[in-house]
Amino acid sequence: MRILVLGAGGIGGYFGGRLAEAGADVTFLVRPARAARLAETGLVVRSPHGDILRPVRSVTEAGAGYDLVLLTCKAYDLEAAMAAIAPAMAGGAFVLPMLNGMRHLDTLDEAFGAGHVLGGLCHIAATLDATGEVRHLNRMHALTLGPRRDGQAGVVAAFAEAARGARFDLRVSEEPIQDMWEKFVLLATMAAMSCLMRGNVGQIMATDGGEARMLATLAEADAVAGAAGHASRPARLAAARATLTERGSSFAASMLRDVERGGRTEAAHVVGDMVARAGAAGLAAPMLATAWCHLQVHEARVAGG
């Protein structure tokens, strides 16, 4: 299997690097400056699970001949990312998106055909630092994928085989959309509360009413998932509650880091989309709506300089 990884930043650099380390046929599609850096230093990943320092293949323009594209862009870069991978998709590749939320599936389906868009998600905290090294920030490094349509099982199995021996947790799911919704519920809650309260879980739990507000936000998000036919399974919902209410936890959404540095966020794709889906389903979501209002102000200030 020939794999094209869009980007060599936190997510693409980490999972693409682990695949290359395991012997998979991996090429990174990157901008010229990143390609020059990779040519000079190789791919450098610093991780609690072991560092990667190795030469890798990179290109600055996609072409045909790939079997699968690992799409690891931010949601606000999706249109540009689709244009970049279009030549590979025209050559018959499948795309495995690692974006947060759900809205991107409709966009990718329309652009490339639903038969070529797999279900997928990842759980990892990783970033590209100022020196060009990928920094893996905790021990979580899980990638889940599965077929959304008939005819996709073969490429899913081929990817699993290519990833055999790779140093990350791989899971092939028969219900990737359910898995994606459960992550969406957790992430929307975490992003909304982290950004609205400007703090991590432990800090929120230390306040009067923090736990009640966190759980109210989680209930709103899961009600939206339920209206879509994908309410969180009991064990997953219990795990989400435990994660979101753990005393002393330093866990926070990466969106909070984006807000604190004054950068763009995926707010529209995560919190905003959850609010829109609540409205379409006739559900009240006051906590999520308040967070979305707050995040829209941030985005307007960023756009206005």
Letter for the amino acid at 228? A
Cα–Cα dist 26/5, whole Å = 7
Tracing tokens 């109210």 back to the chain, one arrives at 216
In degrees, rounded to 5, the angle at the alpha carbon of residue 233 between the alpha carbons of residues 230 and 236 is 120
For CA atoms 37, 40, 41, 45, the dihedral sign is positive
Residue 86 near residue 143, CB atoms below 8 Å: no
Q: Per the residue annotation, which of 136, 183, 230, 241 is the catalytic one?
A: 183
Question: Crossing angle for the helix pair 176-197 and 286-303, nearest 10 degrees?
Answer: 70
Lookup: tokens for 37: 């850096």
294: number of Cβ within 10 Å: 17
First vs last C-alpha separation in the chain: 45
Instruction: Tell the residue number behind the tokens 């290359």, with chain if given.
Output: 20
- Which residues, listed in sequence order, are joined to residue 45 by a DSSP beta bridge? 52, 134
| Residue 101 in tokens | 């939320």
Residue 74 annotated in active site:
no
- Supply the residues annotated as catalytic: 183
